[in-house]
Amino acid sequence: MERVDVSILGRDYSLACLPTEKEALLAAVRHVDQRMLGIKGSGKVSSNERIAVMAAIQIAGELLSMRAPDGPLGNVALGDFKRKIDDMNDMLDQLAGSVAPIQR
């Protein structure tokens, strides 16, 4: 693991990551910092905790609305895809509970 020192909204943090993940981590930190600075700059939210929550909600919304690359699932948003998988898993769990085990 490698130690990476970063600053988000003017506050310093020490994070750890694999060397191969460092660039992705730094890109994520830049994205979060920019989003939080934008929220703070709007003047509508003042506490760092609320700014962090608002940024997290915005970023989660972006993630869940992302579309799969071209292909058979290209028209499905990631959040919809996850919900469909969760629904299928629930259905399988219900079916598994209603089927008697095979005895040998």
Range of the domain at 35: 2-98
In a domain, 38, yes or no: yes
* Number of Cβ within a 10 Å radius of residue 88: 10
Count of domains observed in the chain: 1
* Domain contains 52: yes
pLDDT confidence of residue 40: 94
**Which secondary structure element, helix H or strand E, spans residue 36, and what is its range?**
helix 22-42
Q: What is the pLDDT along the chain (104 residues), one digit of tens a residue?
A: 999 999 999 999 999 999 999 999 999 999 999 999 999 999 988 899 999 999 999 999 888 777 766 666 667 776 777 788 888 888 888 887 766 666 66
Q: Is residue 73 part of a domain?
A: yes
CB 63 within 8 A of CB 75: no
Please give the full DSSP string across 41-103, using - where no structure is assigned.
Answer: HHSS--SHHHHHHHHHHHHHHHHHHPBPPSSTTTTSBHHHHHHHHHHHHHHHHHHHHHSPPPP
- Under DSSP, the state recorded for 9 is T
Global pTM?
0.65
Question: Does residue 103 lie in a domain region?
Answer: no
Q: What type of residue sits at position 104?
A: R
Cα–Cα–Cα angle for 65, 67, 73, rounded to 5 degrees: 130
